[in-house]
Structure 1
């Protein structure tokens, strides 16, 4: 949505709700949608983050949410324009927690941190340089703030002390007072935007989860991926040929490792780093034949690419008027912000890739690092600065591929190594070459606050124990991927773990109905498919309302939960690391049951799980009364549903289904199957499904499985 159209829409909507007003701080403000406000401080830049994306607010979805008011007054946000920069200051209460502020890898609560939000690869420290430097934060008080600037933004999140603060710590003598503090108490969050004005969006909610939903719905709701993208992915080594790729696919199938996407790395192109985007005629003489063979096996192809163009490319000359003045790996850098550039790529990709059946792309190297990419001094034909382009480069590329598929009424599920605000409706998942397992699991948790999806991909491991745990962890994420482009690992590379890894591949294939339902809720209600525990009401409500009854151990572990998450409505996942023989899991309120056995696990308590005693499986739990829809067999073509019921409470399920490949669902071409389990006074359980079963696209049979005896 372009700036002038967006402002016009803002004004029109606001006129129906609240006229724009000028606050004492000099900000224009108005309510745009239910629980969403826009304020303008100073004179915003001509180009900002939202100019890079196309989005239409889901007004119907927002209107379904309860009315919400901001717990702070916009007028209480301090604004100052100094040295050509915008200074914003937000008040913080003593127990207030802050989430978001980009994709972070070390902790969940960001209070007490300093960030310079900058698009980059992750370097192992949370300093703001990250794959998703989204300038959006959420307060535990029930509001969120998005700073719409494509500049590098400095954030001081509860680290600064104001001279006149009524909450200032008393002055102390370090030499004599044991209560002296190196970091005195801070009661504010300060943001520095290096431009003369900025748009700020405020999102209200009854809790953190409600704010996240509003943010996602305002930017169009969550992505609806191609259904085939929810099986396991396997990326092959860099120099594989077409014969190598087919041989690898057949070997996985023969050994009982079902997967639905095969990723081809740079070797498919006639030149890479920089790229031609043309098939290599020796390694891939008949690409259409390869794609056809893969699809016969139920496998889609995903092609690696970066955005830097080789002189050998068939589209190099067509783009000659749109290159920046710097190169990357000796390749030209097209100005992807220009529609002409994206159209040239779309035309070529349709002919050479989409028309022969390519399912999606891996958009690489659009994040960092400084020694590889173009500098901020780069001049782009559109007039966008190098700094602004770096913040939005990945977004423009994702928008281009999204447009390619949407115009042809085909859905994709693709990968991108960078993103920014407002892209939650694009069917892309973030990934990284960074491999620290603990950190990439924390990143998965943090992705749920900022409208992004993240895969803690399994690339390599030191031993069988770590390999099994990495594979299991990624299997319970939005995109399950074994990425062997560099390590050349195969699922069976560690024979001691082969059985466990095979079972995990098969389980992921069976979980597609549940996962697809979770994505529908993301699309329709803005609820992320993978959620931090603080976004789970039975957990956050327990801490708020039942804290006095919780053990001290529970309270301590609940301070920053970075190693477990909710997947969909009813499943709690607790990954484990290599070498970790046991772990503790925080169970929310209500009764929870073991996913694998159906046995009761606990309620509102800390449970300890031994990996070996748990059958070499990471802990996974299901809410009491939940119905988990699964495929009867580890095959995306299996047309029989198994509806697993856990616990002893009655349960209900509405299972969404559509063709899984087109956008016809937007025209109403979908089905919803109601299912429920009744429990009689004597404990007998009875399941039934609605007559809508006959209307489903992917299933025509269903049976119940009662896991808790």
Structure 2
């Protein structure tokens, strides 16, 4: 990896003094004597794009990362020229651009420095490949912290770390290993309690040094392309992440079954084994919504084919699984076997869809089928063709979802584990080498897959899963963190990776529960399952060569514990679905590190274990063997123990009890948590009543419940139900107001309200200003009542 010092020794170049300034609406151009142009684009009052050109020339402006529908517009923009600098002002920040060297300093309106250039923009000509190595260095202030960067297997706080973004097949990776499967060049900085974000939108191999080489310098650079980054000012972390997520996009709502429990393995075959697996889930009454078929369902690992010996009638099998509540998800890889009798290969050859090397021959690489060629997914014509290949699998066979693996792309038996750097790509008309296209290759594959699945599953919603990703891939699919290991260390890694991914705009994420490589014991498997039910994507997956890893594989005690937590997952589905809705609507991460929840509390800045699931659940996994409890930090607020209703006030670290059948799990005071009855799969039961757990608070708290038909697109036409609740608790009374939106009519008419922590005995109950009798609401002591879902105000008064 190239270091700052090495670049400087090899003769970096820097901008000199500004000789020209021009403004065109929201774009400002500052040109230096030696041909550097800084293009400043004001997206919002707190979101600014910085783009640098050398030799007076910008590259074509194109990015795969950006959402088509980005919110833009600002309230104020002015430029003031002073003796030493230009000052660009919006309603939120001031940007100081030094005339002598183009260095940038950003302050809030009170003049407090948020971010400032150290050496600033500099570059070095890349004599090996052409173009420039482009670099930006900024001052690292005392006490500054850094978060984000996707699936890095390191501490949530990146201070003192160096990372590399080059999507890589990293089988059995370890703690702090670089690089991994995803390239998400976005971080959140926290400086003097002010949060800001930087998104370096460059698809070449990029590097970030967070005060590792020099303790007072944070820098980022790329092996090619432009210095092109976006700056977001908070001052709250939530505002920064929302702005980045708005820029790079969010997915559609998934079908609700995609949020259930999924079972996978390399591999379940033949057909009888798949059916036996399904039957065992139902026999043992362990909820499950999806079964995955890895590469062994294919004919010789040829994508879009079936092995007729192992699966003689796949359509019938899929129908039978569906009748028992199981969705079928199949694996598709990018490598296409070189076989003149193979129809997918024939079509790609006839239409020139495969990637070529610099001098013309097709790029070849060994993957599971043997020698393969690889479609150029950066070509829109190839993406359209690839999407069409799913017609038989989805529309005819009835497969419900698709899993794109090995799409870094992974190539076997070569030191780089991937394609040669001289491989050529279309890049949507901006032709380039693999150096530029590598990090987006998997993203564009899964984009094509998503378009095909969406077309052929309509009017249902698509479900797609990817291993490789670049910023913006979250628009198309869920993801998981790749080939992890069945160790306690990897349980810790999974926890921090989920937090980091969610903070990086990618919430629909999970890990291989129990570990992909090696074999967990029952205790590790149970503890991992306890954590994973609080991850948006919840799937067991294992390499299969070390034994079974189904919920019942570790003896009766572990089976009971695992069943209990999968059942909890299904109870919490309306809460999880509502949390997903908020992620799509507001860009709110589904998983929140404690620092995201309360950045003002410096105790949260280095916490890795505790996290919030949604806005009202606090979770802390047990990550050591033989533990009967652990120390846990409670952030601000009061928190109810889910298991005992004990209330703990925040701002303290405490020892909490956690025997093997318990995970430390707390509910925010004032929360109203919706629950469904336990189902063996989504849609098994018609929901007759919605249970809502109410956790008393003296004061006010807001909660929401979002519901729709759980699949399909009617929700986009108003067929949804959004209920907002405002809880106000007093010493001797509780008032709950409900505000309703949407025209979807739920299958239930009744709320069962279950109370936790009421400080008084229920005496009088009024619904919409009318007193109701205990019999009419099925008053159960101080524990619960049942009322119509359509109430506007509920007033409970103590005796």
Q: TM-score range by the shorter chain?
A: 0.7 to 0.9
Residue 691 of structure 2, aligned match among 628, 642, 647 = 642
How far, CA to CA, are the matches of 1:504 and 1:332 in structure 2? Answer: 43
* Alignment pair present for 1:620 and 2:669: no
Deviations for 1:95-124, whole angstroms, at most 9, x for unmatched residues? 111112342112111121222321113432
**Aligned 1:501-520 pairs, distance under 5 A:** 501-520=562-581
Aligned CA distance change for structure 1 residues 381 and 144 (closer, same or farther; 3 Å) = closer
Change (3 A) 1:565 1:61: farther
- What residue in structure 1 maps to residue 752 of structure 2? 703
How far off is 1:393 after superposition? 1.4
Partner of 2:134: 86
Q: What's the Cα RMSD here?
A: 2.9
* The one of 269, 274, 290 aligned to 1:240: 269
- Is the contact between residue 61 and residue 217 of structure 1 (CA under 8 Å) also seen in structure 2? no
Of residues 167, 183, 191, the one that matches 1:133 is 183
For residues 61 and 699 of structure 1, what CA distance do their matches in structure 2 show? 43
Report which of the two has the higher share of helix: 1
Matches within 5 A, 1:574-585: 574-581=620-627, 582-585=629-632
Q: Which has the higher contact order (CA 8 A, sep 6+)?
A: 1
**Alpha-carbon offset, residue 485 of structure 1:** 4.9
- Distance change in 2, residues 1:583/1:333 (3 Å): same
| Conserved 8 A contact 2:59-2:226 | no
Distance 1:203 1:134 in 2: 16
1:323 is paired with a residue of what secondary structure?
A: coil
Aligned to 1:328: 366
Q: 1:663, CA displacement in angstroms?
A: 3.2
What secondary structure does 1:387 align onto? helix
**Offset at residue 524 of structure 1 (A):** 0.6
Deviations 1:280-337 (A, max 9, x none): 2222222222222222222211111211012264311111112122223211111111
Is the Cα contact below 8 Å between 1:86 and 1:197 reproduced in 2? yes
Residue 62 to residue 336, structure 1, CA distance change in 2 (3 Å): farther
Deviation at 1:58, TM superposition (A): 4.3
The residue that corresponds to 1:447 in the other structure is 501
How far has the Cα of 1:656 moved from its partner? 1.3
CA contact (8 A) 2:44 2:73 kept: no
When residues 690 and 18 of structure 1 are mapped into structure 2, their CA distance, relative to the original with a 3 A threshold, is: closer
- Partner Cα separation in structure 1 for residue 404 and residue 266 of structure 2: 17
Alignment of 1:687-698 (within 5 A): 695-697=744-746
Once the two structures are superposed, the pairs formed by residues 50-449 of structure 1 within 5 Å of their partners are: 51-53=63-65, 55-59=67-71, 68-69=92-93, 75-76=104-105, 77=117, 78-83=120-125, 84-122=132-170, 123-126=173-176, 128-141=178-191, 142-161=195-214, 186-195=215-224, 197-272=226-301, 275-310=302-337, 311=339, 313-320=342-349, 321-324=352-355, 325-329=363-367, 330-367=371-408, 368=410, 371=415, 372-380=417-425, 383-407=431-455, 408-435=458-485, 436-449=490-503
Q: CA deviation at 1:672?
A: 0.9
CA separation in 2, counterparts of 1:359 and 1:70? Answer: 51
- Separation in structure 1 between the aligned mates of residue 66 and residue 143 of structure 2, nearest angstrom: 37
State the Cα distance separating 1:259 from its structure 2 match. Answer: 1.0
How far apart are the structure 2 equivalents of 1:61 and 1:484?
A: 48
Deviations along 1:399-453, one digit per CA (max 9) or x if unpaired, are 1122123343432333211111122322312231112222122211211221224
Larger displacement relative to structure 2 (499-508 or 365-374)? 365-374
Count of residue correspondences: 649
CA change 1:143–1:296 in 2 (3 A) is same
User: Which residue is 2:614 aligned to?
Assistant: 568
Hey, what does 2:795 align to over in structure 1? none
Which structure 2 segments of 5+ residues have no match? 1-21, 76-89, 98-102, 106-116, 126-131, 356-362, 759-799
Using the size of structure 2 for normalisation, the TM-score is 0.76
Larger Rg: 2
1:658-669 aligned at under 5 Å gives the runs 658-669=708-719
Q: Name the residue aligned to 1:474.
A: 532
Deviation at 1:373, TM superposition (A): 2.6
Structure 1 residues 286 and 700, CA gap change in structure 2 (3 angstroms): farther
Please report how far the alpha carbon of residue 491 of structure 1 lies from its aligned counterpart in structure 2 after TM superposition: 0.4
Match of 1:457 in 2: 512
Q: 1:666 to 1:220 in 2, by over 3 A?
A: farther
Q: How far apart, in 2, do the equivalents of 1:57 and 1:357 lie?
A: 32
Tell me, in whole angstroms, the C-alpha distance in 1 between the residues paired with 2:74 and 2:372.
Answer: 44
Given the two structures, how large is their TM-score scaled by the length of structure 1? Answer: 0.85
Cα distance in 2 for partners of 1:611, 1:202 equals 42
Could you say which residue in structure 1 is the equivalent of 2:704?
Answer: 654
Higher mean alpha-carbon deviation, 354-363 vs 253-262, is at 354-363
| SS of residue paired to 1:334 | coil
